[in-house]
Amino acid sequence: MSERSFALTPGKRVLYLTKDPARIRDQLNGARLSIAELSPDELLDDINTDAMTPAWVCFDHDPADIARNAYAGLVVGGERLIPANALRDGGFEVIVSGAQKGVGSSRETAAQCEVFSGSRLAIASSFAPIHARNNINIGQLMGDHAMLRRLEAGESIPLSEFTQGHDAITALIIESGGLLPFCARLAKGDLAIPPTGTAPRAMNLTEKILAGKLLPGQGTHVKPGDAVLVRVDAGYSHEFTTAQVDFFLAAEYGADYQLKDPPKFAVFEDHLIYATGVPSMARFADKIGRLRELQRAFAARTGVRNYSAVDGVSPGICHQVAREQFIDPGDFVQATDSHTCMGGASGALAWGVGSTEYAALVYWGFTPLAVPESIRFELTGALRPGVSAKDVMLHILATYAKREDTLNRVMEFGGAGLFALSPDERATLANMATECSARGAVMEVDDTMLAWIASRRPNATVEHLRAKVVTPDPGAQHAGGVHRIDLGAIEPMVATPGDPDRGIASDPKNGARIPEIGRVKIDIAYGGSCTAGKRDDVDMYARVMADAEKAGKRVATGVRFYIQFGSQEVEQYARAQGYTDLFARTGVEVIKPGCGACIGCGPGVSDRGDQVTVSAINRNYKGRSGPGRLYLASPLTVAASAVTGEIVEYEAGMFAKPR
């Protein structure tokens, strides 16, 4: 049988997403471009998944409905660049962009909006790893600009060129037309997964955890690039994604499908708990309510752990509650959210996946993957007063992620400096691996972390957890290298609007202001999210506000400062410490646990383009948390800025000093 190939379909078109909006509009109106007319630097880079399918688009769980609003987040001059139905009605079967296509959230809807609009091929100079995987899982081919030149010249390209460079299992998924068809072939015995053939070798944390999860018959050791089937220890979805997971499971396995090991998995009601309180989201109340209903029905029917809201109050953000209640050292964790990597702080290997991949793994209990490369960060020293793990992560983003050292690699952390950080501060580092376009995160653990976990689990002990800990082998290698970071050399940082990797460090000689951004007055300060709604984060907000209160100050006039707890446990801690009373006295608005402003679905979002927010969340892509300008900073900087009314770093006693 001759090999299948891809060729452009007569009458179908190619859409070039250019940096010039006028050229995109011209194409939507019938104009045609070719790759010969463009250079790569004229194409849009860093198209994030929020731009492809903003949060409100994800309120639909049927991919056909999602496709109607493809690229709804590309907004120019206050108007959608690609109107409703334009991608589908334009007859485009190839979509072309620049570098780093699909950065940001793991939402599979970003790939679905293209595929269900008729696209068969995505062209870019590079793809963010989770987005690339989502394309593969739902059957969209990917190629580069050189490949498109050949296609436009009339060439037909063999499927083997699209699988070239991929591991054996991924190649089979591509050849099968997606992950679920691949699983069906595997179940029928049409496919066999060979042993890795990897001889015993020193393995790093990533490799060693995965080697311990191999299904029988694949060997005992792995190396980067090995195609394997591995057991998944834990996973979860939330009300943004569960309905779609159920949709795919029912379509593939029938409405009466059953999961093999439901207690390993969970659902959370956290992302949309406050969405209807945001004016721009209120019109979606019926759809949001329907997503909640579908998730609760899924939980009741399948028997997965159910972390639904009670009396309108969420147990907390999935990533925070998961690390509190069920992620253990040595686990391999998959969930339908890009910040799943936060579990890496507990010594687990964790990363986010799309709805299709999650549907397959909750049904089968295992998942196919290529063993990823790793990059190690060896931390030394200790943070100086006024500096936090968020500043460390903004430094890593501005240094290593910007030059793509972390791209599609697992970020491993270790060293005495790591153990000098609290468990919550370590979680901040793990959480933001996804902003680095990393595959995931994993950290070495000590008894401090084990005690933190054990204190939150019935019948758990440090000794019991220690038996689960995985440690790297001496002499283990990292394709991304080993990078040493002296925590004592880190300065407070602020990331300017548009991308988390736009970090700027403060100048110790300049007082509290960060000179390169100048004097930036703010309208909103927000402290919360999975990144910054933990106990230690609340301690930092409280430290600043207590300092302000002693100086007779409070939240600045004209500024709204919101603090949102990451979980009910964190809220209870804040009350016990007297923080909630302190916040009330100093003008802070406190919000119950859950997601919110971070995804544009809760108090703290901007509602005008001229508003400025300084936020402790994880990403600041355009439109991520409202239409205004969004700066990222540490909890200390956010709180200090709320009091001064402009972006400043925190210094002890600063409010008593003349300014």
Can you give the CATH number for the domain in which 528 is found?
3.30.499.10
pLDDT digits (tens, 9 = 90+) for 215-271: 999 999 999 999 999 999 999 999 999 999 999 999 999 999 999 999 999 999 999
Domain coverage including residue 583: 493-659
Query: What mean pLDDT value characterizes the chain?
Result: 94
CB-CB contact of 526 with 315 (8 Å):
no
pLDDT range class, residue 156, cuts 50, 70, 90: very high
What pTM value is reported for the model? Answer: 0.89
Q: Quick one: average pLDDT of 166-192?
A: 92
Residue 386 has pLDDT above 60, yes or no: yes
Asked whether residue 284 is domain-assigned, the answer is yes
Same structural domain for residues 539 and 514?
yes
Which range has the worst mean pLDDT, 97-111, 360-374, 632-646?
A: 97-111
Residue that is last in its domain, among 490, 516, 534: 490
User: Of 473, 494, 509, whose CA–CA distance to 613 is shortest?
Assistant: 494
Average pLDDT over residues 283-311: 95
Q: Identify the pLDDT of residue 595.
A: 92
**Quick count: other Cβ atoms within 10 Å of Cβ 467?**
9
Task: Note whether 585 and 601 are same-domain residues.
Answer: yes
The band of 415, judged by pLDDT with boundaries at 50, 70 and 90, is: very high
174: Cα separation from own chain's centroid: 24
C-alpha 69/C-alpha 55 separation (Å) is 11
Mean pLDDT of 374-380: 98
For residues 39 and 154, state if they share a domain.
yes
* 458: exposed, middle or buried (Cβ count in 10 Å: 0-12, 13-18, 19+): exposed
Is the same domain home to 247 and 259? yes
Q: Using the 3D structure, point to which of 455, 490, 525 is the last residue of a domain.
A: 490
pLDDT tens for 568-595 read 999 999 999 999 999 999 999 999 999 9
Q: What is the phi/psi pair of residue 143, to 5°?
A: -150, 180
Same domain for 639 and 522 = yes
Question: For residue 197, is it within any domain?
Answer: no
Helices then strands, counting H and E runs in the chain, come out as 25, 26
In the listed set 442, 471, 490, which residue is the last one of a domain according to the structure?
Answer: 490
Tokens of 64: 């056909």
Burial class (CB in 10 A: 0-12, 13-18, 19+), 623: buried
Q: Pull the structure tokens for residue 576.
A: 């016990």
pLDDT at 512 over 80: no
Which two tokens mark 17? 């997403």
Residue 263 makes CB contacts below 8 A (sequence gap 6+) with 303, 304, 305
Residue 139 — pLDDT band, cuts 50, 70, 90? very high
Tokens matching residue 261 = 């090991």
DSSP result, 91-130: TEEEEE--SSBTBS---THHHHHHHTTT--EEE-S-B-HH
Residue carrying the six token digits 């691996």: 433
Residue 183 domain-assigned (yes or no): no
Is 236 a member of any domain? Answer: yes
CATH number for 24: 3.20.19.10
- Is residue 181 included in any domain, yes or no? no
- Say yes or no: 40 and 159 in one domain: yes
pLDDT at 106 over 80: no
Task: Give the confidence band of 2 by pLDDT, cuts at 50, 70, 90.
Answer: very low
79 & 110 share domain: yes
* Predicted local distance difference test score (pLDDT) of residue 1: 34
Answer yes or no: do 287 and 361 share one domain.
Answer: yes
pLDDT, one tens digit per residue, over 419-465 is 999 999 999 999 999 999 999 999 999 999 999 999 999 989 999 99
pLDDT of residue 288: 93
Whether 507 has a pLDDT exceeding 80, the answer reads no
Asked whether residue 449 falls in the same domain as residue 508, the answer is no
Strand partners, 441: 350, 411
Q: Which of 494, 488, 489, 490 is nearest to 516 (CA)?
A: 494
Q: Are 80 and 170 within one domain?
A: yes
472 with 541, same domain: the answer is no
- Specify the number of domains making up the chain: 3
Domain-embedded: residue 81: yes
The Cα–Cα gap between 647 and 645 comes to 7
At 283, list the tokens: 């019109």
Domain-located, residue 229:
yes
User: Is the predicted pLDDT of residue 524 greater than 80, yes or no?
Assistant: yes
User: Cα angle vertex 165, ends 163, 170, to 5°?
Assistant: 50
Query: Has residue 520 been placed in a domain?
Result: yes
Q: What b/e readout covers 163-189, taking b as 16+ CB neighbours within 10 angstroms? A: beebbbbbbbbbbbebbbebbeebeee
Q: Do residues 501 and 428 share a domain?
A: no
Q: pLDDT digits over 29-85, tens only? A: 999 999 999 988 999 999 999 999 998 898 999 999 999 999 999 999 889 999 999
pLDDT of 657 > 80? The answer is no
